[in-house]
Amino acid sequence: MDRMFPFGFESHLSFYLVVYVLTLVVHVFLMAYVLAGSLWLSWVTLFPGGDSIPRTKQPLARILRDWMPFALSGAITAGVAPLLFVQILYRQQFYSANLLLGWRWMVVIPVLVIAFYLLYVVKSKVVSRMSLLVRLGLSISVAACFLFVAFCWTANHLLSLDATVWPDAYGSGVAVKSRVAVTLRLLTWIFGTFPVMSILASWQLRGMRSRTTAWDSAISESDWLPFFNADHRRLGIVSIVGMILASLSAVGYWTTLAPSVRSVLIGNMGMPWMLIVVASVLFQIVGWLFQFRRPCICNRWLSAITTAATITLVGVASLREIIRLSQADLDQVISATKAASDVGGFELFLIFTVLNVGLIAWCVRLVSSRGQRFAAQTKKKE
């Protein structure tokens, strides 16, 4: 543990850690979009603002409503890979925490099913004509479902870290040992989802500027422009506020960690990542502030912020693993990954990953070329 994560371990352990962290980051990107998006939709339903078009019908809310079912589907699918590798790395911890939470863990599935269908309901045109109370109820229900799932994951993760509390947790049925730790860690993740959602939504806003006729042909592209700019600005603010609050919550969570864990975090293993996370967060804040000075979304800055956010997520995921490894039975983790590395099939995975990434790119290309044709056709009609 004297070198930067994930170096300094046996190669097989480092390898599985890298695969786990990278697949987790992909999942977190989509998960953040869904969680922060649902909270944002609840917010704008409650506070529709005084503009000529209520915020619920402004570009950001429209895009979020439209894309959230797909994002949830993507988040669940992307979540399968880290769920697989966590079972290789931390089988005993993960299974024990699952079992100790029992039905409180299993209930995550029906809650997600409910949330999924509610997303389709929220998206439907029928609901947009319903009363504020119904729309608010639906939006809050969706957000509450995702918050509950986030809470369960947090409780599960924290429980999995400390094997010494498992027998007591089993006997007493009390799975959450420290409510403060759970709350602060949960808040870190919840606030941290907003910057990620802001980036993904910004890219979508940018892409939708020339396709507004699909929303309402009575409103011209130029009339939509102020709303796009306002939403863009709001996303920047939400992102910055999210990062500040997530950082404060993370500092609070830090205080709940054992001194031995903290020493690993500020040691050779964790310190480089701490610095990387701080630097990339600062870069994102500066990036958004630069964006504010421009009339519209700047492609270059958005790309830079996206890169910084990706680095932040990789850093946070790495710190998460450093905390876990500092509390785990390292010999057990090493022997588990050593044994797993002797099992064949990796070449197969590589081949099909390349093939399927290519096919996915082909799907997107097929649809993107449709987009250009569709835009050309629309302009011609006008």
The site for other proteins (CB under 8 A) is made up of 70, 73-74, 76-81, 83-85, 87-88, 91-92, 95-96, 98-100, 102-103, 105-106, 108-109, 112-113, 116-117, 120, 166-167, 170-171, 173, 339-340, 343-346, 348-349, 352-353, 355-357, 359-360, 362-364, 366-367, 370, 373-374
Q: Closest separation between CB of residue 93 and other proteins, Å?
A: 11
3-state secondary structure of 37: helix
Q: Which is nearer to other proteins, 106 or 275 (CB)?
A: 106
Check the CA dihedral 177-181-187-189 and report its sign: negative
Which tokens sit at 1? 């543990």
Q: Closest separation between CB of residue 127 and other proteins, Å?
A: 16
Q: Which is nearer to other proteins, 275 or 350 (CB)?
A: 350
Which tokens sit at 21? 């962290």
> What does the alpha-carbon distance between residue 229 and residue 225 come to, in Å, rounded to a whole number?
6
Q: Closest separation between CB of residue 370 and other proteins, Å?
A: 5
> What does the alpha-carbon distance between residue 139 and residue 145 come to, in Å, rounded to a whole number?
10
Q: Which is nearer to other proteins, 7 or 349 (CB)?
A: 349
> What does the alpha-carbon distance between residue 194 and residue 32 come to, in Å, rounded to a whole number?
7
Q: Which is nearer to other proteins, 46 or 81 (CB)?
A: 81
Cβ(142)–Cβ(182) below 8 Å: no
Q: Closest separation between CB of residue 165 and other proteins, Å?
A: 11
Task: For residue 183, give the nearest of 158, 146, 216, 166 by alpha carbon.
Answer: 158
The 8-class DSSP code of residue 382 comes to: -
Q: Which is nearer to other proteins, 116 or 290 (CB)?
A: 116
Q: Which is nearer to other proteins, 83 or 225 (CB)?
A: 83
Q: Closest separation between CB of residue 73 and other proteins, Å?
A: 6
> What does the alpha-carbon distance between residue 230 and residue 316 come to, in Å, rounded to a whole number?
30
Would you give the end-to-end CA distance of the chain in angstroms? 64
Give the largest CA-CA distance in the chain.
71
Q: Which is nearer to other proteins, 90 or 189 (CB)?
A: 90
Q: Closest separation between CB of residue 95 and other proteins, Å?
A: 4
Which residues, in sequence order, are CB contacts of 96 under 8 Å at separation 6+?
Answer: 159, 160, 163, 166
Q: Closest separation between CB of residue 64 and other proteins, Å?
A: 15
The 8-class DSSP code of residue 40 comes to: H
Q: Closest separation between CB of residue 167 and other proteins, Å?
A: 4
**Phi, psi for 268 (deg, rounded to 5):** -60, -30
> What does the alpha-carbon distance between residue 271 and residue 119 come to, in Å, rounded to a whole number?
40
Q: Closest separation between CB of residue 306 and other proteins, Å?
A: 20
Q: Which is nearer to other proteins, 255 or 332 (CB)?
A: 332
Q: Which is nearer to other proteins, 256 or 335 (CB)?
A: 335
Residues 244, 250, 254, 255, Cα dihedral to 10°:
70
